[in-house]
A and B are shown apart, each in its own frame.
Chain A
Amino acid sequence: MISKKIVLVALLWVPIIACSNENTDNSDSIEKVSVPTKQKSAEMKSVPVLRSKINDGRKFLLNERGDYFVYKQSSKGSVRASLFSTSPVDPSAQFKRILWVLKTTQAKKVFIDMVNERLVNSRQFKKENFTLPLIDMEGQEYEFSYTSNHERRLYVLNYVSKGQK
């Protein structure tokens, strides 16, 4: 009798285990589905992909997290960029985003190294809104700023580089 009960309990557990496996499989595949229309996924993996260019030189793209990135580079080397997100950014991710912005806008390596050194543990990143002005060795000015709107869930990182005078 007891052995029958054990067998039955064991049988009942089979679908539970099967279902939980099914769930993990699904979440893995659905977690980040990047769906490029027309162009196929091979191109998506080479981040970043510039999708649109408007006449005034602005460039637009969605990164792999679904954040919307717009930037414009003038002939004199000045850059303006904005990264829009619908999820709040934690301090360590904020630093990575800044580096991503610099790489995507093809900032000078010297400046990227400087940012790496100075901002890696910046306390500013813990704030909901901040402005971070920076000057490099050549006296060129840069600024990062971040604004949060929790009520509407919009989080924007702005970047300005003044360029050569």
Chain B
Amino acid sequence: MVISASICGLLFWNRVKAVGFMNFRFLLSVLALFCSCLSFAQDNCLVSTNLRELMSSHPQLDQEVVDIKTGKYSALLKNGDAVLAWFAPCELSTKVHYLVSTKLTDDELLNLIKTFSLSVLPSSDAREKILPQLEGLRLADFRESLVLEGINDGHKFVFEDAPQPFIKHRIYYEWRPPQF
């Protein structure tokens, strides 16, 4: 891609030198057409959210399924817990569920929320901003939806008990993109 672009650039410059100004305009319009075709060919969305393999380095990881096209990422841990994430392919949005399959104490859950937030927060800047805010929070604070302020975006955390059969607890994370 880069090589072909540079070949085009070289050709383009040689032609400009050789054929003068009138043809320069023609070449410029051809180049504009070329660029627009290229951007159309790549994708039809103005924005998209990068898919991140959230649990790849988790020591308990058992199985992972990644689908870039639909923005779905799923991971199964050896203890039966699962992480189901959606990274919107045509907008800015991230939604992640951590489904806890075994009953845990409040302290264990608070720890889990912290380690989970380490893997879901999108950048080291966000982690620096959000992690101190998580300190000192009780489990009850997460039961009502809690939106923490990032640099110019929002990070929502929700904790629920037994929302579905088989699932003892659920932690939900949502990234709220910057509002312009």
Q: Which residues of A contact B (CB under 8 A)?
A: 1, 4-5, 8-9, 11-16, 18-20, 22-23, 27, 30-37, 49, 51-52, 54, 58, 60-68, 70, 72, 80, 82, 84-87, 152-154, 156, 158
Chain A residue at smallest Cβ distance from B4? A15
- Contact assessment for A60 and B101 in the assembled complex, using a CB-CB cutoff below 8 Å: yes
Q: Which residues of B contact A (CB under 8 A)?
A: 1, 4-5, 7-8, 11, 15, 19, 23, 26-27, 30-31, 34, 37-38, 41-42, 61-70, 72-80, 82, 84-86, 95, 97, 99, 101-102, 164-167, 172, 174
Contacts A16-B38, A68-B82, A68-B84 given; indicate if A86 touches B97 (C-beta within 8 A): yes
Report whether over half of chain A's contact residues are helix, strand or loop; otherwise say mixed: mixed
- Contact assessment for A35 and B64 in the assembled complex, using a CB-CB cutoff below 8 Å: yes
Q: Specify which chain B residues have a CB less than 8 angstroms from the CB of A85 in the assembled complex.
A: 84
Bound state CA distance, A84 and B100, in angstroms?
13
- Contact assessment for B42 and A51 in the assembled complex, using a CB-CB cutoff below 8 Å: no
Chain B residue at smallest Cβ distance from A33? B66
Q: Specify which chain B residues have a CB less than 8 angstroms from the CB of A68 in the assembled complex.
A: 74, 76, 82, 84, 99
A-B interface contact total, Cβ < 8 Å: 151
- Contact assessment for B80 and A66 in the assembled complex, using a CB-CB cutoff below 8 Å: no
Q: Specify which chain B residues have a CB less than 8 angstroms from the CB of A72 in the assembled complex.
A: 166
Chain A residue at smallest Cβ distance from B85? A86
Bound state CA distance, A154 and B158, in angstroms?
14
Q: Specify which chain B residues have a CB less than 8 angstroms from the CB of A18 in the assembled complex.
A: 4
Bound state CA distance, A66 and B87, in angstroms?
13
- Contact assessment for B41 and A65 in the assembled complex, using a CB-CB cutoff below 8 Å: no
Bound state CA distance, A147 and B23, in angstroms?
63
Contacts A30-B68, A60-B80, A152-B174 given; indicate if A66 touches B74 (C-beta within 8 A): yes
